[in-house]
Amino acid sequence: MAYHAFVTLRSLAVCALLALGCNKSAPSSSDAGETSSDVPSDIAAPPADATRTPSGLASKVVTAGNGTVHPKLGDRVSFHYTGWTPDGKMFDGDPRGHFRGPPVTVVLSDFLIKGWVEGIQLMVTGETRRFWIPPELAYKDKPDRPQTMVVYDISLGELKSPKAIATPSDLAAPPADAQKTKSGLAFKILTKGTGKDRPSPKQSVKVDVSGWTPDGKMIDESATWGYPTWVRLDNESEPMGWREGLQLMVVGEKRRFWIPPELAFKGKPDQPQGMVVYDLELVEIQK
């Protein structure tokens, strides 16, 4: 697992590009599931009562929300959406029709089109808003995407902000009171566990993770979201330091590991090549 929780969060944003119609082909009229009642009557141009931001993004609240907090960059949001071109063609959203299917969940980030990033931050949970997004804030110069203004209805469901995690002060090297295994894996117990059993090499475990490079750069941030991740200890694609370290732990225990390159990501492209430091909290052992 290690580095991949960080990748997962970024991938959520990348998936949003797909889910929000940045790369997929538009559904045809035969499979879009549209009826005349699905297509808004005001998509040709923003109505007189629409509000505009300085960037040119126009919007109108369709259904008032019940929340009080606006999303910000880095928040995790869940929502339904449907997109049309000004001539009434649905080009984005669930092909079965307007707001059908499960919501999409993404991290609000600059991976999304500018109109989405700006517009979602205007909303509160429970709100449905219609956006008229000019080409410069949508898909201008992006192949196979509409080059005109596009119109989106978005219904914002869940909003979750990341939990702040302080950067440890001992990342540069294992402290004097750290223990070390024969392989060179160093560790220190931060919180004692409540369990009695340790996982075997064939088991899967649920883990809360935070990871850094020695200079303080966070490379794994799954713990900031409060979503523990399942890890298979016999999965050789996981760093050896992970697999060794987790087998030392019991449920409820939290340890800090200083993992040398040979037990981490040495030789793996696009990943840290030096020592890495991880805080792991063992949440559950799969029986």
Each of the 287 residues of the chain gets a pLDDT tens digit; together they read 433 433 333 334 434 443 344 433 333 333 444 444 479 999 999 999 999 999 999 999 999 999 999 999 888 899 999 999 999 999 998 777 677 778 898 888 888 999 999 999 999 999 999 999 999 999 999 999 999 999 999 999 999 887 778 899 999 999 999 999 999 999 999 999 999 999 999 999 999 999 999 999 988 867 677 778 899 999 988 899 999 999 999 999 999 999 999 999 999 988 999 999 999 999 999 98
What DSSP letter does each residue of 238-270 carry, written as one string? S-HHHHHHHTT--TT-EEEEEE-GGGTTTT-TT
Is the domain of 62 the same as that of 17?
A: yes
- Looking at the structure, do residues 198 and 250 belong to the same domain, yes or no? yes
Instruction: Count CB atoms within 10 A of the CB of residue 246.
Output: 24
Whether residues 144 and 190 share a domain: the answer is no
Is 169 inside a domain boundary? no
Residues 139 and 190 in one domain: no
- Summarised one tens digit per residue, pLDDT across range 69-105 is 999 988 889 999 999 999 999 999 877 767 777 889 8
Q: Based on the domain organization, do 51 and 150 belong to the same domain? A: yes
Whether 13 and 138 share a structural domain: yes
pLDDT 10s digits, 186-223: 999 999 999 999 999 999 999 999 999 999 998 886 76
Query: Considering 160, 188, 211, which residue would you say is the last residue of a domain?
Result: 160
Return the pLDDT at 157. Answer: 94
pLDDT of residue 281: 95
54 within some domain: yes
In angstroms, the CA 15 to CA 108 distance is 12
Same-domain pairing of 28 and 132: yes
Q: 152 and 46, same structural domain?
A: yes
Q: Count CB atoms within 10 A of the CB of residue 127.
A: 20
Assess if residue 251 is contained within a domain: yes
Q: For the domain that residue 213 is a member of, what is the CATH number?
A: 3.10.50.40
What pLDDT, on the 0 to 100 scale, is given for residue 171?
A: 97
What is the tally of structural domains in the chain?
Answer: 2
- pLDDT (0 to 100) of residue 38: 78
Q: Report if residue 165 sits inside a domain.
A: no
Does 173 fall in a domain? no
Q: Which helix (H) or strand (E) holds 154?
A: strand 150-160
Asked if 151 and 24 sit in the same domain, the reply is yes
The whole-number pLDDT of residue 163 equals 78
Terminal-residue alpha carbon distance, the chain:
20
| Residue 40 contacts residue 151 (beta carbons within 8 Å) | yes
- Residue 57 domain-assigned? yes
CB 23 within 8 A of CB 17: yes
Residue 80, in any domain of the structure: yes
In terms of residue numbers, what domain contains 18? Answer: 4-160
Residue 174 lies in a domain: no
12 and 149 assigned to the same domain: yes
Residues 21 and 155 in one domain: yes
Whole-model pTM: value is: 0.59
Residues 183 and 224 in one domain: yes
Boundary residue ending a domain (130, 160, 190): 160
